[in-house]
Amino acid sequence: MRAITIHRPWAWAIAEGLKTIENRPWHSDYTGRLLIHAGKSKGSDVTAVEFMRSIGIDGSPFEQIPGGAIVAVVDMVRCEAFCPAPSLLDPSPVPIADPWAFGPYCFRLANVIKLPQPVPCKGQLGLWTPNAETVNAVSRQMADGIR
């Protein structure tokens, strides 16, 4: 199992089941359970909320979730290139048609479980492995546990 740290507005949108794609500048082959960690940084908060409003979502409730905590569990289904490279069979690639997709790599997320109580922990860059204490605290909140 892995975790990923995301700015709070985006983490809130994922936890609420609104945002089904997480954009990254790097590719990942990882699939499986992914803990969504809301970061403490406020660098892109205004931009994120403005973007959400542009697609009809009031992103201001993101302030309800704490920074520096696991707020949800999702399944990372796959990683896709935003605009796949041309091939002999498909010489004209088309970008992923989803308002959340910016790329260059899009992590497809599914099966969101919002945690009733966020689990405080320190985030990291990239996909990271949460410690056993964090996993246990998250697992206790889930009916089926984390596999």
Kindly report the CATH number assigned to the domain that includes residue 58. Answer: 2.30.130.30
Please state which of the ranges 64-73, 91-100, 125-134 shows the lowest mean pLDDT. 91-100
Mean pLDDT of 80-85: 73
Q: What is the pTM of this model?
A: 0.86
Residues 112 and 76: beta-carbon distance below 8 Å: no
Q: How far is 53 from 31, CA to CA, in rounded Å? A: 30
145 inside domain = no
Evaluate if residue 108 carries a pLDDT over 90.
yes
Closest-CA residue to 142 (of 109, 110, 125, 119): 119
Residues near 71 by beta carbon (within 8 Å), at least 6 away in sequence: 11, 12, 15, 36, 37, 38, 65, 114, 115, 118
128 inside domain = yes
Report the pLDDT value the prediction gives residue 121, as an integer from 0 to 100.
96
Report the pLDDT value the prediction gives residue 145, as an integer from 0 to 100.
55
Number of domains in the chain: 1
Domain that holds residue 63: 2-140
147 inside domain = no
146 inside domain = no
130 inside domain = yes
